[in-house]
């Protein structure tokens, strides 16, 4: 199984004795249809607004690609976009592109959806999505066709605070995609075929003031798909949890739940970091589909690496 991201972060945030602020989780139903509104990029002015598209694909020749569009208002300026693309060739060599663009330097339209910046373009619909780009030393032109139906947990919207002025939105535009097209490296164009995904998230809340723990795991291979996410809120929001569990095998969705329960075991201390983060090597997740509970267990042999968002 190929794990595209397995990230566990623990943030230690002081709690407050005051009454918790309102928090409204996304609805728990598994029928989470994805439409044009879930593809749209709203480009808001709030300080903590962000919007991210993430795409990955793994090809039959053992090469792979990662694409990211991140709009963030943190720091000076509004609507700053960072475009990243990375091709890892069949020999394991990485070819990387990154460019930051001011709001006036890119174009995004909702109907039809098209998002163009820094020589890169995303376009299409939830079922049929295209990505192309020129990273200098490489270029690509790819089609993502939905192998599994687009999905979001319930209504895909969680609200924070009075009148839900804060929000977190998520949509698995393509939980698993059949990916075809071409990648050019060193002037040599290769036809590629494989599988991947398309993910879209947006938020206008400050993570450091909202979550004290964040678990995000997605693993996709030729047969099995796992998406697992859970946030544990700070005491400001009553220490509640928000998450989802999506598991599919072949073309069958085993569970698509807007609620998930986690149990963590074999907790180790990351002694190499000053904050001494607690990292579980075993995570058990339980989700419910209709009247049936489905449980999965994810186990790691050791702490493989670290990326500290607080230091970035």
pLDDT tens digits for range 182-222: 999 999 999 999 999 999 999 999 888 888 888 999 999 87
Do residues 143 and 181 make contact, with C-beta atoms less than 8 angstroms apart? Answer: yes
The one-character DSSP state at 105 is G
CA torsion through residues 297, 260, 40, 164, sign:
negative
Supply 149's token pair: 């139906």
Supply 121's token pair: 């373009």
Flag whether pLDDT at 13 surpasses 70: no
**In the 3-class helix/strand/coil scheme, how is 157-206 assigned residue by residue?**
EEEECHHHCEEEEEEEEEEEEEEEEEEEECCEEEEEEEEEEEEEEEECCC
Long-range contacts formed by 306-311: CB under 8 A, 24+ apart: 306/270, 306/272, 306/273, 306/277, 307/7, 308/273, 308/275, 309/9, 309/207, 310/11, 310/208
Is the domain 3-311 a CATH 3.40.50.740 member? no
| Chain position carrying tokens 């201390």 | 269
Across 141-145, 276-280, 294-298, the highest mean pLDDT is recorded for 141-145
Q: Comparing C-alpha atoms, which of 200, 148, 125 is closest to residue 169?
A: 200
Supply 79's token pair: 């609507």
- Domain ranges (residues) in the chain: 3-311
pLDDT tens for each residue of 31-61 = 568 999 999 999 999 999 999 999 999 999 9
């Amino acid at each position: 199984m190929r794990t595209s991201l397995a990230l566990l972060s623990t943030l230690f945030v002081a709690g407050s004795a005051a009454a918790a602020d309102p928090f409204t989780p996304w609805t728990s139903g598994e029928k989470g249809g994805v439409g044009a509104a879930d593809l749209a990029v709203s480009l808001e002015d709030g300080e903590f607004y962000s919007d991210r598209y993430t795409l990955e694909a793994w090809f039959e020749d053992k090469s792979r690609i990662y694409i990211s569009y991140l709009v963030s208002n943190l720091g000076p300026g509004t609507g700053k976009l960072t475009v990243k693309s990375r091709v890892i060739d069949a020999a394991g060599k990485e070819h990387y592109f990154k460019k930051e663009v001011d709001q006036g330097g890119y174009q995004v339209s909702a109907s039809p959806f098209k998002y163009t910046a820094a020589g890169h373009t995303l376009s299409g619909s939830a079922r049929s999505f295209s990505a192309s780009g020129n990273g200098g030393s490489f270029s690509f032109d790819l089609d993502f066709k939905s192998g599994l139906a687009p999905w979001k947990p319930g209504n895909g919207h969680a609200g924070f605070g009075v009148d839900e002025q804060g929000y977190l939105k998520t949509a698995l535009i393509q939980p698993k995609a059949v990916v075809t097209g071409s990648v050019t490296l060193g002037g040599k164009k290769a036809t590629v075929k494989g599988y991947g995904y398309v993910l879209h998230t947006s938020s206008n809340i400050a993570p450091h003031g909202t979550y004290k723990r964040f678990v995000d795991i997605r693993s996709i291979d030729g047969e099995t798909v796992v998406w697992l996410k859970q946030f544990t809120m700070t005491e400001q929001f009553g220490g509640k949890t928000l998450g989802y569990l999506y598991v599919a095998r072949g073309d069958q969705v085993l569970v698509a739940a807007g609620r998930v329960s986690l149990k963590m075991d074999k907790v180790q201390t990351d002694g190499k970091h000053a904050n001494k983060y607690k990292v579980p090597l075993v995570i058990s997740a339980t989700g419910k589909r209709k009247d049936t509970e489905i449980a999965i267990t994810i186990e790691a042999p050791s702490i493989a690496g670290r990326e500290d968002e607080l230091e970035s």
